[in-house]
Amino acid sequence: MGIGYLKGGGSIAALLTGIIWYVSLIGKNVSGMVLPLITGIIIVVGIFSGNQLERIWGKDSYKIVIDEVAGMCITLLFIPVNWQYGLAGWILFRFFDIVKPLYIRKMELLPGGWGVMMDDILAGLYANILVSLVIWLMHSI
């Protein structure tokens, strides 16, 4: 959709993914495997397209934002549909994706589409764990 050409395209793509996720799911009871399946399809498409686009645009180009879409989907997997959790997830995901601590930067060294996708997948996983932990702590106190 051309988001990768915008300044801050990765943040915009992740934010739009979160909004679409929220609007699509609010008030709905979705089967347990639908969202992981959709996320998995996005990851596979991202790896494939990352392999193709790196040949044209170079290593992990800012123009490729499907990795942020996948990372945000992972961030929101199994998290209750709530705008506050979504916002917290987006902030944490972008933090991990930009700062790249805890082996995230090493994921970029993987070849082709794997390198494009894996840093965002790991950033999304870390963000999901932290949001889940906060939710668990809030309900445990």
Residue 81 · residue 22 · CB < 8 Å = yes
Chain position carrying tokens 């949001």: 131
Series of mean pLDDT values for 10-residue runs along the chain (141 residues): 80 95 84 90 95 80 89 96 95 96 93 94 98 95 80
**Quick one: pLDDT at residue 137?**
95
pTM of the model: 0.91
Q: DSSP 3-state assignment of 138?
A: helix
Structural tokens at position 62: 């800012």
**Quick one: pLDDT at residue 86?**
95
Q: Longest Cα pair distance anywhere in the chain, in angstroms?
A: 52
Q: Report DSSP state, residue 5.
A: G
